[in-house]
Amino acid sequence: MSYLRIRTKFILIGAIGFLTLLSLVGLAFNIGRLGIDSLDHVFQDSKNVQTLQQEFIAPLFYLRELSLSLVVAPNEDFRQEIERALEPLLGTLDAKMSAQEEVIAKEWRAYKTQLAQTRTFIHEDFEEGAFINANTGEREQFYVLASALQKAQAKQLDTSSNTYLDAKERIDNTRWTIVIISVLLSLLSLTLGWLVIRKIALSIERVKSGLLEFFEFFKHKTMTKKPIAIALDSHDELGEMARAINVEIDAAKDALKQDMEFIESATQMLQALKGGDLQKRLDAQAKTHELNALKEVINHMVDDLEHKIQQEISRRTDQEKLLIQQSKLASMGNMIGNIAHQWRQPLGELNAILMNLETRHKFNQFDGAFLEHCVKECNTITAYMSRTITDFQNFFKPSKTKEFFNVVTACKSAGGILASSLKHHNIALEWDIVKEYEVLGYPNEFSQAFLNILSNAKDALTSRLIARPKIRISISEGAQCVLIRVEDNAGGIQEEHLERVFEPYFTTKHAKQGTGIGLYMCKTIIENNMDGYLNVANTPEGACFTIKLNK
């Protein structure tokens, strides 16, 4: 048997099986024909059950779901979309239900009436009535109709079950005959086949054992001293295959060992790279061509990585410096403009005093008392102007550490900076404050961000020539945060700009009027530095900026 080819062995097994199969075919033919006839009846009955489920019960539940969705729809758009899905389904069910037996058709007409009542309430905007009807009359009639359909389905299932039991009884009558003959033929086939396949099974088992050992070696990648080989000395195809596999196993072990050493070296180099060491390179040689190509790619990548990192760091640093510089210049320009508004009236008063002095001197009404009085007034005015400069200096001085500060005071401080400019443009500044609130953060940076938002609102009001311009500031508190809202009546922000107003360098102003970094810096201060939240939305009158700060 060891010297027979596997092809010859399988021909012997096939001949034995063929003779056995011929014997069984005749016996199975009759019972097969009986089984097919019975299966046809069972299939038809099951198809009827499936039809009831797919074309009546499932669509009915979907219709009920659409009716409930129609009742709870939040607006008319959703209701119209549900109506478009409901109409064809209702028409399809109506045609199919009406063609059923009278009990189902009757219950369907009753349910359709209840559904129509619910839809009527919806169309009349009587949502309460629709909800009550959908959960009382319509619901009760729905379950009555569903129960009728389920009874019809149960009836079909009973028919299918009876058909199956009848077929089972008929097949059982011939079962023992087939069993006895099949057992005798099978024993004969197994006895003859066992002698043939025993040798094949033993050979396959040895090949399997050797391959599993080799695969275990690949799985754990452990270079053991135990030789991995398939011990098979037969002279058939399996013996030849075993000897060929043993040769390949030896070659694979050597290649795997070399590749494992390469991967270990690559892992160590990548770990060093992860730790910031860019000096190490991959020198090991792999057996696999792809791993050697990967080595060249990795070494080239590491050579180029440090240079690119330095370039990127330099580029980002330059961009950040430019952004900060532009922000400082923009803030300085706004500060100078606000100082001009604050000083305009005091300078006018000084000019009036000087003119009064000149007039008195011309008419010889100039005396020491009047001069002393004028000097005192000038000192008062210049002291006010000096305090204004000091206030501006303190306002723009950055806070070094976080501290608890009064939000209302910070907001009013920013409002005071713009007070003269707002008054000059006839812009009303309204305050809605319930009480004082304290938060943890950087007070000066927050005041600058708040001032920037106020300044943007003022620019929008003045550029659009609003008839009665106003800015309303409300400060309140929620469960865990303080809310600051800045609203204007300038008409709002265009929808396509709402998502971009906080992007750096984005501005809706003329290039000479804005840099596009003010609101970006505001968002950076509020969200990154103070762990808050800044957002903007349109209102019926204009735009509303909302600041949330944790208490």
Please tell me the predicted confidence (pLDDT) of residue 211: 74
Instruction: Answer with the one of 124, 141, 173 that is the final residue of a domain.
Output: 173
Do residues 315 and 433 both lie within one domain?
Answer: no
Distance linking the first and last C-alpha atoms of the chain: 90
Q: Please report whether residue 299 resides in a domain.
A: no
Residue 210 lies in a domain: no
| Domain annotation covers residue 224 | no
Tell me: do 377 and 426 sit in the same domain. Answer: no
Is 488 in contact with 461 (CB distance < 8 Å)?
A: yes
**Distance separating alpha carbons of residues 125 and 26, to the nearest angstrom:** 74
Instruction: Based on the fold, state whether residues 455 and 327 are members of the same structural domain.
Output: no
Element of type H or E holding 188: helix 175-220
Co-location of 115 and 161 in the same domain: yes
Do residues 472 and 336 both lie within one domain?
A: no
**Residue 33 forms part of a structural domain:** yes
In a domain, 157, yes or no: yes
pLDDT value at residue 442: 84
Q: Tens digits of per-residue pLDDT, 228-241? A: 667 666 666 667 77
529/269 Cα distance (integer angstroms): 38
Does the residue 83 lie in any domain? yes
465 backbone φψ class: left, alpha, beta (φ>0; ψ -120 to 50): left
pLDDT value of residue 489: 92
Domain for residue 514, yes or no? yes
pLDDT at site 487: 94
Question: Which residue, of 397, 419, 435, is where some domain finishes?
Answer: 397
State residue 512's pLDDT score.
43
17 occurs within a structural domain: yes
377 and 511 inside one domain: no
Specify the pLDDT at position 154.
83
Would you state the pLDDT for residue 332? Answer: 58
Q: What is the pLDDT of residue 390?
A: 64
Whether 407 and 465 share a structural domain: yes
Helix (H, G, I), strand (E, B) or coil at 486: strand
Task: Write phi, then psi, for 426 (nearest 5 degrees).
Answer: 60, 40
Task: Give per-residue pLDDT as tens, 168-190.
Answer: 777 777 667 777 877 877 787 77
371 CB contacts (<8 Å, ≥6 apart)? 357
The pLDDT value recorded for residue 303 is 72
Final residue in a domain of this structure, among 334, 362, 397: 397
Predicted local confidence at residue 511, as pLDDT: 43
Q: Are residues 19 and 105 in the same domain?
A: yes
53 is in which domain, residue-wise? 6-173
pLDDT (0 to 100) of residue 546 = 94
pLDDT of residue 528: 83
Residues 425 and 538 in one domain: yes
Residue 508 near residue 497, CB atoms below 8 Å = yes
Whether 20 and 131 map to the same domain: the answer is: yes
Do 472 and 546 fall into the same domain?
yes
Same domain, residue pair 365 and 406: no
Number of domains in the chain: 3
For residues 237-258, b (16+ Cβ closer than 10 Å) or e, as one string? ebbeebeebbeebeebbeebeb
**CATH label of the domain that carries residue 97:** 1.20.120
The ranges of the chain with pLDDT < 50 are 223, 225, 511-513
Give the CATH number of the domain where residue 461 resides: 3.30.565.10
